[in-house]
Homo-oligomer: A and B are copies of this chain.
Amino acid sequence: MTIAQLQSVHPEQSISDWIKWLASYGKTDNGGVTRLLYSESWLEAQLALQKQMIQRGFTVRFDEVGNLFGRYIGTDEPDSIILTGSHIDTVRDGGQFDGAYGVLASFLAASELYAEHGPPKRTIEVVSLAEEEGSRFPFTFWGSKWVTGQSDLETAHSFIDSEGVSLQQAMKDAGFGESVETQSTAETIQAFIELHIEQGILLEHKKKDVGVVSDIVGQRRYMIQFSGESNHAGTTPMTMRKDAMRLTAEFITYITNAAEQLDPTLVATVGRLVASPNVPNVIAGGVECSLDVRHAQTGILDQFETIIEQFEKVAKQNQMEMKRDCWLQIEPVHLSDLFVEQALSHADTLGFSSERMVSGAGHDAQVFGLTCPTLLLFVPSEKGISHSPLEWTDPEALEKGLKLLKAQLYSLAYE
């Protein structure tokens, strides 16, 4: 069967219908979704998905941490697993699409392929990952880190939610934990494919149907502290001030201009700023601000770090002090070049406009990308809005993403 033939196959229910259905689990009053890890709504959603998988002939299982798997076993190479999916958890009052779209599209793509072509040559496994957002516990990618052996139960046990419940207890209460018998699939995963909404404005801005991600950015998050001298706003002449707010302002302009100049895909954001004493008639003696820096190349991130450091001189010239603490460092992940080329080619065949792009947000694909050939596909997000009830992608755009995923899965599992 050719890709053109695949395109003509229609599921009974559209992907949009399926998304609405899943959003009913954990629906909030203002149209958002809250499915925190191991919560009741989360568990109900996983069990409902399990039921749907069973009805479509998947062989299903949960692993120790609550990741849900459904597979169609391959006829030729059953141990070669083509894994596809995304995450089921959401932020508090998040959108309907983030994570859920990828889980449901994988489920639909696999079941449609099975219905149309029978069992695949290589095993197709759909995964509804337990956790990606870090919304309940200060710990992200728990689901994918568990599958790929990048985290263990011992590490996870140290995390506590805002109500004092440990991850271990929450997991146990939901019926998971060490007692669940399963077998690790890490060693046999031949590929991981994730479809996700962009959560950005690039595809919308460039009017592209789909995005094919070549790299997921590395992130460095800094806490920057400027120390000056608190003084009377009326009696201290401008030339005698050590105004930490003014210095911080200069820094923000300096660092955002520098980011623009260094590389077009580099982003630098000061999103948080806290001044002290933060009152109108007192010169700020201290300012603490965040700096979030992202780029797909470690070299650029390193180079930018020296640019940040250079501002210490400006602080000194103004008789003030600058302290810098890099409290989060995530390395960039380069995804499979082969898969990227395949996906771009499939998009072309399907008549979809596509964009080879970098993901500025983190995704489960970056965790899998460290252990197996990985592909991350995007569809546009309206206005880039995400983590909000206003999150939206047009049904047509969702269909196009599903079709591209299906084409890619066909070539990996059937050809």
Q: Give me the interface of A with B, judged by CB distance under 8 Å.
A: 198-202, 205, 217, 219, 221, 231-240, 243, 245-246, 248-253, 256, 259-260, 264-275, 277-284, 290-292, 294, 359-362, 384, 386
A246 adjacent to B253 (CB under 8 Å): yes
A243 smallest CB distance to B (angstroms)? 7
Q: Is the CB of B275 within 8 A of A280?
A: no
Given the interface pairs A240-B205, A269-B243, A271-B281, the reply to whether A200 lies near B361 with Cβ below 8 Å is no
Cβ–Cβ < 8 Å partners of A256 in chain B: 238, 243, 246, 249
Q: Are B266 and A283 in contact (CB under 8 A)?
A: no
CB neighbours of A284 from chain B (8 A): 270-271
| Interface of chain A: mostly helix, strand, loop or mixed | mixed
Known: A245-B271, A270-B246. A233 touches B292 (CB 8 A): yes
Chain B, Cβ-Cβ closest to A292: B233
Copies of this protein chain in the complex = 2
Bound complex: CA A182 to CA B268 (Å): 67
Given contacts A271-B278, A283-B271, contact A260 B239 (CB under 8 A): yes
Contact between chains at A202 and B237 (CB < 8 Å): yes
* Inter-subunit contact A278/B272 (CB<8 Å): yes
Task: Indicate whether A267 sits within 8 Å of B246 (C-beta atoms), given known contacts A201-B231, A280-B221, A386-B232.
Answer: no
Is B236 in contact with A360, judged by CB distance below 8 angstroms?
Answer: yes
Q: In this complex, what residue of B is CB-closest to A290?
A: B280
Known: A237-B265, A249-B252. 15 other contacts (CB 8 A): A202-B237, A202-B240, A221-B280, A232-B360, A232-B384, A232-B386, A234-B359, A235-B359, A238-B264, A243-B256, A246-B256, A249-B250, A271-B278, A273-B275, A279-B290
Q: How far is the CA of A260 from the CA of B236 in the complex (A)?
A: 12
Q: Which residues of B contact A294 (CB under 8 A)?
A: 233-234
Residues of chain B contacted by A233 (CB below 8 angstroms): 267, 269, 271, 292, 294, 360
